[in-house]
Amino acid sequence: MQVAERWILARLRDRTFFSLVEANDAILELLSEFNDKPFQKRPGSRHSEYLDLDRPALRPLPRERYVFARWKLVRPHLDYHVTIDEHHYSVPHQLVGQQLEARASSSTIEVYHRGKRVASHARSYRKGGFTTVREHMPPAHQAHAGMTPERLTAWAASIGTHTKALIEGIIERRKQPYHAVRSCLGVLRLAKTYGEERLEAACHRAVKLGSYAFKSIEAILKNGLDQQPLQTEPPTPLPKTQHANLRGSSYYATTPNPSDDTKRQTRSETC
């Protein structure tokens, strides 16, 4: 670099260029002349050395550009997901509890186990969201994979508003949507045994009690509690206490009391 700087830039130091293209053309012309210049102490030139040594060893550039990525040690949770930047990505459920390596680029998330890639996902920046591959689920979860919260809610709404409210409550109280699917399906399938009308009444009672669980609905239906009227507690009346410091509405009447005016006048004269 020092030789090129002295040989090329020194020859151009007195020239004036009006564009970057013009300056590059002048440098390229002198660079070709510099590379063809013979060595002083051995035969050949820089250009001939390039043709004999460097050019045969060159390889084509990669088809894909280099992508910057970060590596992170991760460990799958019990729900067979790993967390990267507050988003959750699935891995094969057999790897739960094992230490894995995650490679995070701007567009993909790759997870490796002992140097072998076991999962690949398109990257998502939705915080708290889940990206799940069906094949990563245990067989029991795969059976319910098609049941999304939206489908469960729509099914419940077709039975009644109270059934829908109960299903929405079950889903909201689960950290993982997959954990709620089994309970929701159990509740909705009770309509085949007891009928939609009784299920709606049982859900009404459960929502009133704040009990969002399959076992609660099942117990209500088995014991026939859905066929009993809901008890509504009347509002608790205020205690009827007589005390000198307690004033009724008459105390704040808009009509002035003449005796009060007389008392005020007497106090003012006394003062």
Residue 63 lies in a domain: no
Q: Which amino acid is at 241?
A: T
Domain identity same for 203 and 159: yes
Residue 181 lies in a domain: yes
Residue 270 lies in a domain: no
Residue 143 lies in a domain: no
Domain identity same for 220 and 163: yes
State the CB neighbour count (10 A cutoff) for residue 121.
18
The predicted pLDDT at position 149 comes to: 81
Percent of the chain with pLDDT over 90: 39
Strands 87-90 and 81-84: antiparallel
Q: What pLDDT, in 10s, does the model give residues 100-109?
A: 999 999 999 9
Percent of the chain with pLDDT over 70: 80
Average pLDDT over the chain reads 83
Which of 94, 110, 137 is where one domain is finished? 137
Which of 137, 159, 180 is where one domain is finished? 137
Q: How far is CA 128 from CA 86, 167, 177, 181, 254, in A?
A: 6, 21, 12, 19, 60
Domain identity same for 216 and 156: yes
The range of the structural domain enclosing residue 210 comes to 149-227
Domain identity same for 183 and 218: yes
Q: What pLDDT, in 10s, does the model give residues 33-76?
A: 888 888 888 898 988 998 998 999 999 988 888 889 999 999 99
Domain identity same for 157 and 205: yes
Q: What is the mean pLDDT of residues 209-218?
A: 90
Domain identity same for 223 and 153: yes
Domain identity same for 76 and 50: no
Residues 6+ apart with CB under 8 A from 213: 170, 183, 206
Which of 209, 227, 245 is where one domain is finished? 227
Pair 256, 265: CB distance under 8 Å: no
Q: What pLDDT, in 10s, does the model give residues 182-205?
A: 788 889 989 989 999 999 999 999
Domain identity same for 118 and 188: no
Residue 6 lies in a domain: yes
In the chain, the number of structural domains is 3
Residue 262 lies in a domain: no
Q: What phi, psi does 108 have (nearest 5°)? A: -135, 155
Q: Is pLDDT of 254 > 70?
A: no
Domain identity same for 153 and 203: yes
Domain identity same for 14 and 40: yes
Residue 126 lies in a domain: yes
Residue 84 lies in a domain: yes
User: Which pTM value belongs to this model?
Assistant: 0.46
Which residue did the predictor score with more confidence, 228 or 255? 228
Q: What pLDDT, in 10s, does the model give residues 108-146?
A: 999 999 999 999 999 999 888 888 888 898 876 666 666
Q: What pLDDT, in 10s, does the model give residues 144-171?
A: 666 678 888 888 999 999 999 999 999 8
Complete DSSP assignment for the chain: -HHHIIIIIHHHTT---SSHHHHHHHHHHHHHHHHHSBPSSSSSBHHHHIIIIIHHH--PPPSS----EEEEEE---TTSEEEETTEEEE--GGGTTS-EEEEEESSEEEEEETTEEEEEEE----TT-EE--GGGS-HHHHTTTT--HHHHHHHHHHH-HHHHHHHHHHHHT-SSHHHHHHHHHHHHTHHHHH-HHHHHHHHHHHHHHT--SHHHHHHHHHTTGGGSPPP-PPPPPPP----TT---GGGG-SSPPHHHHHHHHHHHHH-
Grade residue 257 by pLDDT with cuts at 50, 70 and 90: low
Q: Is pLDDT of 92 > 70?
A: yes
